[in-house]
Amino acid sequence: MKPKVIHNILLCSFCLALYCLCNADKFLSSRYEWKKLIMVHHWPPTVCKEAENDCSNPPGYWTIHGLWADKAEDCNRSWHFNLEEIKDLLPEMKMYWPDIIHRPPNCSQFWKHEWRKHGTCVAQLDALNSEKKYFGKILDLYKQLNLDSMLQKLGIKPSIDYYQVADIRDALASVYGVMPKVQCLPPEKNEDVQSIAQIELCFTKDLQLRNCTQPGLSASLRQKARGADVADSSMGLEVCEDGPVFYPPPRETMR
């Protein structure tokens, strides 16, 4: 092969590599671009019902499911979870972020899953750019939001009587100043009402509260919006339909 041809091939290869390097962020950003953070709380008695396994004596208070970016998952599989990095957070993690589905609890696997799937995506923010910051900030947000106490102050407590979804959603909006998203486990056979399962409160990238859904959005449109967010893919759960909802008490209080 002539030297001039070789030179042209090398020059073209160099230019192509340079172009890819300079535009790598554009290729990646389109795949992992996201606009909001979703702080997800779940109600253990309903989660246990959804799991349909030996999920005995779940906590009788709202626990953490995770902090998720919308429209982004598994952003950096090479960034492995290291339990040692959050060793000093473990007492609070076990209390407020337990693995309530698996018995015996395997919390480290649950946290590993949340870090790999969601933490590596939101780590582009300085406030969340390490494993320690990610889990620590979520614990801080959980305590600041204080969802369990807020619901009780609003008179919304686990009960054998039913609530109205709109009443729960509007009551929370009056406290937090933003519209939350309430998710339910649809009624099963021989049941006539959905059960409350998760409550999401959303944040901007500056960690300021923002609407999860638009105020006044119809149930049908909220259902369509559910499919638009990757973070709303909890198996078996749906955005609650307007109407009655069961807020199941812990099992021991129902006996």
- Residues identified as active-site: 65, 114, 118
d(CA 209, CA 194): 27
| Reduced 3-state DSSP string for 83-121 | HHHHHHHHHHHHHHCCCCCCCCCCHHHHHHHHHHHHHHH
Task: Give the C-alpha distances (Å, rounded to integers) separating 94 from 97, 148, 222.
Answer: 6, 17, 33
Task: Give the C-alpha distances (Å, rounded to integers) separating 172 from 39, 91, 239.
Answer: 14, 28, 16
Asked if 208 contacts 36 with a C-beta cutoff of 8 angstroms, the reply is no
Tokens of 13: 């290869």
d(CA 173, CA 31): 32
Beta bridge partners, 106, equal: none
What are the phi and psi torsion angles at 34 (to 5°)?
Answer: -145, 160
Count other C-beta atoms under 10 Å from residue 224's C-beta: 12
SS3 content of the chain, % helix, strand, coil (to 5): 45, 15, 40
Beta bridge partners, 41, equal: 64, 199
